[in-house]
Structure 1
């Protein structure tokens, strides 16, 4: 009798653990409720290239009349976003075996449960927004207000405030590593690679990418993180820059390698970028002072509007070569140089090897004085 009881108990335990460990026939699922879904369909996008801000559609969800939905996917673990309507997009970091539930908050936005990786990315974005709101935006607003006035007597104020904005924005980018470190090797680190910055943190990011590859072999995300680190190495001091071939404001193609001087400042800027415009006076001064000795500037403008770009060149007296592909950040040039924010510059020798980077204000003056005193 006891033997039969034990057999029954063993059978029950076997069934329980078999059900518990049953393999799902999907990688992850999405379910929940959406407010005001688009009549044209709610679309799931996968991030295919962060540096060029490209997301490709992978599915159109079937949403019930009451806003509820349920979908399963055999897609790779990845960074996705769900476009609910023209004004609402939900970021999702989906890992294997996650059942992700999306529900409306009492106010605006959505709560996402079932994905610890998405929560880590939300925390990163909240940290980033707080630093911008407290450290960068107030100064940036003051600078743009002065620039809009277009008063010559504000030149000194603009230059001083521009340096403060540059310092605040550089500090902001350097601070973001403190939000990345707690994330470990979560898939959530992938979207943060858009703002990985700085030679001084390169070894940390290289180590993180190596560990990530060990824990997530074969994923598309893994390859993209490794590519990001490779680009960071290429644009570190000592690396050799990629060539640039782009049209100037007259439409003539200008190659970087044919415009290299003894030393050349590759200046990434934009007509819309306050700090970029505020340092134009200094660039004009150092170009005039050192150009005859072999100093050159090669400007690449991150732009959409050709007329605004041409007007800024004229107003700032940027008489050196200036080029732009007029497609914002969505181009191989910005990708090859790791450009995700402005201003950004690289000082290279006549072989295109980077000898310094992110030189602004007194740092640029000092470096050029040192180079041309020898």
Structure 2
């Protein structure tokens, strides 16, 4: 009798657990379902494309309207929208809600003569993530010119990460700060990492963070730069150590990187305003096709030294995960700035002259 009773209780317990598991699975699936619809103002009646993670989808734009539905890999996941190529990419976070976008469509010819289909986001509704993003962006704009911006940013991110430890936007911020916008110290970044629930973060953002931290520990501001030798267009090996004695900008780019090439006119202007004894530039391409690289150098009229890192050995060692990316070196070959603007570089050079 006791055995029968025990067996009965066991069956009841297992039955309850199966039901609970079923309910949890249903809820979890529901939390990953999304709906993304939009209105496009302008004469575009072709397909629009959506990507998120490894997923790709398309929808026909009819009378300026489109809609996507699907299931995410994570509760929140960054996606990107684009029209028929060539086109820009419009990034938007997907979540378990009904998101509505309003966008303007226009065509333009870029500086290389390519016709581009451009989407400009005008409004977004139904997105909790958009509210978090807007608040963070407003904080950055309001405070970035302050002398204690790094302290304020660290405090803001501690608050944000504690409030949203599972949100993949938190992981994206941390990945970018470690690998690109290097405002915070290593120990601050490592503390912020402990506040995240990494189970819910995009693996690429975590990879950006890990690579960035490794690079920061070895090639941060104040550290000696990597001593490399790479070939130029004439297959001559160029050593970065030859540039000691003056400020040098090491600029990572590629022929296919539109934002990189959009920076070139500004760099050319900066280069023309400075003398070679004080400041120089060496552009380091990660192109795999040398012909495309050489053609882009001519098209953009890059008059300084250009070298190529076809195998990615230098960029990998330095932790360069995205381009454009740059390091400003001082006369001793030490890193004094990472991803500075042209104005910031010019200010450093001018201040150095004034202090001599």
Q: 1:28 aligns with which of 20, 23, 32?
A: 32
Shift of 1:284: 2.1
Q: Secondary structure at the match of 1:197?
A: coil
Distance 1:203 1:283, change over 3 A: farther
Question: RMSD across aligned C-alpha pairs, in angstroms?
Answer: 5.1
Shift of 1:335: 7.0
- Which residue of 1 is the match for residue 135 of structure 2? 123
Give deviations 1:123-158, integer Å, cap 9, x for gaps.
334555x569xx9xxxxxxxxxxxxxxxxxxxxxxx
Shift of 1:223: 2.8
Shift of 1:323: 1.6
* TM norm structure 1: 0.53
Distance 1:345 1:308, change over 3 A: farther
- Which residue of 2 is the match for residue 7 of structure 1? none
In the alignment, structure 1 residue 336 sits paired with structure 2 residue 312? no
* TM norm structure 2: 0.55
Give deviations 1:31-90, integer Å, cap 9, x for gaps.
14322496553322347xxxxxxxxx7311345857353422243454222225677754
In the alignment, structure 1 residue 204 sits paired with structure 2 residue 203? no
**Are the equivalent residues in 1 in contact too, given 2:31–2:96 (CA < 8 A)?**
no
**Are the equivalent residues in 2 in contact too, given 1:231–1:338 (CA < 8 A)?**
no
Structure 2 CA distance for aligned equivalents of residues 326 and 174 of structure 1: 36
- Which residue of 1 is the match for residue 250 of structure 2? 268
Shift of 1:122: 3.5
Gap runs ≥5 in structure 1? 1-14, 48-56, 136-167, 288-296, 314-321, 370-374
How many residues align? The count is 280
Distance 1:125 1:199, change over 3 A: closer
Q: 1:256 aligns with which of 239, 245, 264?
A: 239
Give deviations 1:262-313, integer Å, cap 9, x for gaps.
6674413564126x733655452437xxxxxxxxx66226898423654644
- Which residue of 2 is the match for residue 43 of structure 1? 49
Larger RCO: 1 or 2 (CA < 8 Å, sep 6+): 1
**Are the equivalent residues in 2 in contact too, given 1:42–1:62 (CA < 8 A)?**
yes
Q: Secondary structure at the match of 2:195?
A: helix
Structure 2 CA distance for aligned equivalents of residues 119 and 362 of structure 1: 41
